[in-house]
Amino acid sequence: MREQFSKELQSLKDMFTQMGQKTRDVIELAIISLKEHDLGKANKAIRLDDEVDELEREIENKCMSLIALQQPIAKDLRRIGTILKIITDIERIGDYGVNIAKITLSIGNEAHVKPLIDIPKMADLVKDMLKLTIESFEQENINMAKAVIQMDEQVDLLYSKINQDLQEIMANNPAASKQVTSLLLIGRYFERMADHTTNICERIIFMVTGDRIDIC
């Protein structure tokens, strides 16, 4: 009985890893589509997010089944409960990627109002955070989780810089306001992705230690 439960739990962890990797691919496609005006990749990001959503449903059903049939206790219950919570964060990250892809489609082939430097930097940071988060979950490594949480500050600093730069452009060139607003939204979406990744890492720490730690 215990061996079967361990196999089911490992299957859950593998599904979460797959969901996280697909979400990271959505982000990658979204930022490439924005930088290169590649509308095909934007559409691909949107389609790929459907697979992320399907995995969320499958994982949720599997978690509920394990709780009902196996009645796990202690750390095993924390693992399943953590998975149930963090898949919601992963799904939201994927949704933000879709939002960015849709903005890219609305911009189309219109020239960018400024060279895209800081937004791609934000995207790279978020992708790195998500990659490390997945590894932290797989290895139940709280040091990795803490490192991800610290990275969130870098994303916030970039977001502030992007806001300032774009607001100046809008003030000097009101005709660019529509695209500036779109780029401001994209910066916000990446900032929110980082926040969700931080939430996941805080839950990983709880899963491993049983302690709720608020890391500043």
d(CA 166, CA 50): 32
The reported pLDDT for the residue numbered 61 is 96
Q: How confident is the model at residue 212 (pLDDT cuts 50, 70, 90)?
A: confident
Q: How confident is the model at residue 157 (pLDDT cuts 50, 70, 90)?
A: very high
Task: Please check the confidence at residue 2 and state whether its pLDDT lies above 80.
Answer: no
Task: Please check the confidence at residue 68 and state whether its pLDDT lies above 50.
Answer: yes
b or e along 146-175 (b: 16 or more beta carbons within 10 Å of the residue's beta carbon)?
bebbebbeebeebbeebbebbeebbeeeee
Task: Please check the confidence at residue 57 and state whether its pLDDT lies above 90.
Answer: yes
The reported pLDDT for the residue numbered 216 is 45
Task: Please check the confidence at residue 115 and state whether its pLDDT lies above 80.
Answer: yes
CATH number of 2-209: 1.20.58.220
Mean pLDDT in residue range 86-97: 97
Task: Provide the whole-model pTM.
Answer: 0.94
Query: Which range among 70-74, 80-84, 187-191 shows the weakest confidence by mean pLDDT?
Result: 70-74
Closest by CA to 52, choosing from 26, 33, 31, is 26
Closest by CA to 136, choosing from 123, 151, 122, is 151
Mean pLDDT in residue range 200-207: 96
User: Percentage of the chain with pLDDT > 90?
Assistant: 87
The reported pLDDT for the residue numbered 83 is 95
Task: Please check the confidence at residue 159 and state whether its pLDDT lies above 80.
Answer: yes
Q: How confident is the model at residue 1 (pLDDT cuts 50, 70, 90)?
A: low
What residue type is assigned to position 79 of the chain? R
CB 160 within 8 A of CB 213: no
